Amino acid sequence: MNIKIEQPFIHTEPNADMNNWIVICKKILNALVDQPFLASLFVADVSILLLHKPPFFFSLIMLGGLMAMCMYFGQKLALFKL
């Protein structure tokens, strides 16, 4: 009885970008330099949420904005090829 088990597709090249952290850091920095307004919003949002105690509803709005920016940068950068 020959049963073939289908393996999920995983990007497993030995020299993939996932292993090269210098390339990943350069991509992140280039994306932040290309989008200065979003980068400044991102830094300000993270610093306010970490270092201050904003009101509850304001912090929820800021957290939602932070998640939206992270999803945008994640789609723009595509650091990991899956």
Q: For 14-40, what is each residue's pLDDT tens digit? A: 555 455 778 778 888 888 888 888 888
pLDDT at 78 over 80: no
pTM of the prediction? 0.59
**Whole-number Å distance between alpha carbons of 27 and 6:** 33
Q: Is residue 30 in some structural domain?
A: yes
Q: Is residue 40 in some structural domain?
A: yes
Q: Mean pLDDT, to the nearest integer, of 4-18?
A: 55
Provide the domain count of the chain.
1
Contact 72, 30 (CB under 8 A): no
Q: Is residue 58 in some structural domain?
A: yes
Q: Is residue 6 in some structural domain?
A: no
Range of the domain at 30: 21-76
Q: What is the DSSP letter of 18?
A: G
Q: Is residue 8 in some structural domain?
A: no
Q: Is residue 49 in some structural domain?
A: yes
Q: Is residue 12 in some structural domain?
A: no
* Radius of gyration of the CA atoms of the chain, in A: 19
Q: What is the pLDDT of residue 12?
A: 53
Q: What is the pLDDT of residue 17?
A: 47
Q: What is the pLDDT of residue 64?
A: 92
